[in-house]
Structure 1
């Protein structure tokens, strides 16, 4: 198993992620709606909003997966954040980086993976919107574009200011 490298701007990337105050927060419909839509549109078993912290990938939303996080060193998403394009693995068993990965040889038995980086407004890749299936497959060009567009919607939600209570006027 090949462990992903860290981005050269890792400290700023982690700082940006933590400033969002999103890690370890409860589930939210605004993210769950997007992962359900992604799973349905792409006809995959699993769709996840994954945020890459220092030593883990934490799932803000996961459709079709019960896990809340996995170690970063076995994550597919850790590879995805190293680039700006959608990262696709058509068959993880045939990929030298992943064929012996615990997530491939054990549950959830990943064969197909596609992840679009979640690029913050400052350019940092904070995580991914990813698709996972137990069956190998490919994506068409329009599907890659759609996954990228859906990842941009996730970023809009991540960076959207939270509603603040109105000041009480007496």
Structure 2
């Protein structure tokens, strides 16, 4: 059975792409998580699967050689449709999966358990999943451990996203710390094209910020002497 697409699919895909993780190199922090997942659940296969528009791509994998598969045959594409983990004890007896080529051919998936990777904004961008070639059940403790590891995957993604944002902000600060032509009288700033403008316009051209305006106490006293000072 082909997985359905959520109503907020475009926003979900934008959230996934915002992490800038697709097609990146393997990283130890993620590989440690999949290794722990196989040991905790006593299974041969574990994946960190990110569900893109037409494919599922594996940020980390243990027990399989391929780095991605079509979304049409993806178990994980089904798993992200709900908030709770998707557990399939025997895919050969499940009408959703029994004719799936991942079941009838290599890697011959029989057991599957996938925990959605849920972003702080509520988008399920993929799963941490474990797979076996025979039917099995997970204990409550194993399932809770898998959920805890899935939260660690999202935490790693969030840390990378924040780190990238900080690096970009520091780069923009470096630009602003360079020699900037400022008018000695009005404090206007000359841009690269030689035009003079306000400080606000210059900063907004180098960063995505908005300004709110007020008047300090000294300027209030100088320009609006008739207005009594605030208590």
TM-score (norm 2): 0.70
The CA deviation string for residues 101-147 of structure 1, in whole angstroms up to 9 with x for no partner, is 00000010000000000000100000000000101101112221111
Aligned equivalent of 1:20: 19
User: 1: CA distance between counterparts of 2:157 and 2:134?
Assistant: 30
Aligned equivalent of 2:151: 152
User: 2: CA distance between counterparts of 1:106 and 1:121?
Assistant: 37
Query: Is the helix fraction higher in 1 or 2?
Result: 2
Equivalent residues in 2 for 1:5-154, closer than 5 Å: 5-154=4-153
More contact order relative to length (CA 8 Å, sep ≥ 6):
1
The CA deviation string for residues 67-126 of structure 1, in whole angstroms up to 9 with x for no partner, is 100000100000000001110000000000000100000010000000000000100000
User: 2: CA distance between counterparts of 1:46 and 1:109?
Assistant: 11
Shift of residue 148 of structure 1?
Answer: 1.0
2:95 alignment partner, SS class = coil
The CA deviation string for residues 25-64 of structure 1, in whole angstroms up to 9 with x for no partner, is 0001010010011111111010000000000000000011
User: 2: CA distance between counterparts of 1:5 and 1:146?
Assistant: 28
User: 2: CA distance between counterparts of 1:67 and 1:162?
Assistant: 29
The CA deviation string for residues 137-168 of structure 1, in whole angstroms up to 9 with x for no partner, is 01112221111111001000011133649879
Q: Aligned pair count?
A: 168
Computing the radius of gyration over CA atoms, which structure comes out larger, 1 or 2?
A: 2
Q: Is the 8 A contact 2:51 2:76 kept in 1?
A: yes
Runs of 4+ in 1 over 2 A off after TM superposition: 161-169
Q: Is the 8 A contact 2:119 2:154 kept in 1?
A: yes
